[in-house]
Amino acid sequence: MEFVGGQNTFSRIRYGVSFIWLADCAPPTCYSRVLGLSKEIVGLLGKLHNFHRTKTCVEILPKMFLDVQNSCINTKLRDFLYVMENLPTQYCRERPRIVLLKQKVTNLYRIINRICYRDLVYFTDDCEAIETGQSTPHYREDRLQMLVEEKR
């Protein structure tokens, strides 16, 4: 790379070699984008529960443990967005961090339902696990047993 005008800014770089540097990056897959965004949402929710200005606002939000491989995530995100749009006070609806959370949840919902509609694979439909954070592993075994019985 060669700097123009003696300044060390990226806006003044001649792009003779820079395309090689960018070619090393792999584009995010649907799964990696959904997984990364869900981690951001969980982290932001944790901060909102601990921040004194937003603590009272997020107390009414339903508990949510995001599992992108659970098919119930769609309905849970939709319900969560409904509650966020109908927060009881204008103060809560206008808090910047709550607005950011709403935007992230909306983006995740759109990515799952529109962009990555057929790319994601759901391994469970345990809706209770999204609310409690505890998965019941017997669902897979029961389903497997039902499938084996149907083939007979």
CA–CA separation, 129 and 74 (whole Å): 13
Reading the block at residue 53, the tokens are: 């200005």
DSSP code of 10? Answer: G
Using a cut of 0.75, tell me whether the model's pTM lies above it.
no
pLDDT, tens only, 18-74 = 444 444 455 578 888 888 999 999 899 999 999 988 889 888 888 878 888 778 888
pLDDT, tens only, 94-141 = 999 999 999 999 999 998 888 877 777 777 777 777 776 666 655 455
Predicted confidence at residue 20, as pLDDT, reads: 43
